[in-house]
Amino acid sequence: MADLEFFFDPICPWAWITSRLTVEVAGQRDLSVEWRFISLRMVNEEKDYDREFPPGYVNAHGGGRRMLRIAAAAREHGGNDAVAATYTAFGDQLHTARRALEIREGDYRLIEDALAATGLPPSLVEAGEDEGYDVVLHEETEAALARTGKDVGTPIITFSPGADDEVSFFGPVIARIPRGEEALRIWDAFELLARTPGFAEIKRSARDRPAFG
């Protein structure tokens, strides 16, 4: 059993930053991470995108679902490590290289560029059109939301999955990627709050713009 489960949608810049914090801490603490799926397109499937979201979000969330389908196919091919590699490649193209606007405009060519960087079979890109993978996306999205409640997005992190002290929370949402000792301090504070009985939320609506360096 992994030490952590991390539920992600590749399109989310905030999840990407938190995922890099998670990778940083996992490397320093020798923690195992299982990468799982939460589709923002499925989370928001009952919403009116034209009325409730800025222009391009239906393409963005749909693009995230395409990438998650490919990640699901990558899992079948190479297990959890293949999912991690696929997520890293998608995030590097979307966020580090700042190509997310292409997805919002309905241009999905970066998906092939990302997949090429993983060393996985290029044919996996075809899974992006395969609705059969939506079964696992829906199952894992529902599993994540069952742990936290539905009024959240991505990422969702589960500490000690399957253990008696399992606990899950949305976040943390941060605007830059912490490194080194700072990453450990932030992580320990988040885990302490997550494991505090009765604790539900800490939040402010004002945010800095995400920085991916």
Domain ranges of the chain: 4-194
153 φ, ψ (degrees, to nearest 5): -125, -130
Asked whether residue 213 carries a pLDDT value surpassing 90, the answer given is no
Instruction: Provide the percentage of residues in the chain whose pLDDT is more than 70.
Output: 100
Phi, psi of 158 (to 5 degrees): -110, 125
**pLDDT surpasses 90 at 175:** yes
Question: What pLDDT sits at residue 144?
Answer: 97
CATH code of 4-194, in short, is 3.40.30.10
Q: Which of 15-29, 39-53, 85-99 has the lowest mean pLDDT?
A: 39-53
pTM of the predicted model as reported, rounded to 2 decimal places:
0.95
Mean pLDDT of all residues in 137-161: 96
Q: How confident is the model at residue 27 (pLDDT cuts 50, 70, 90)?
A: very high
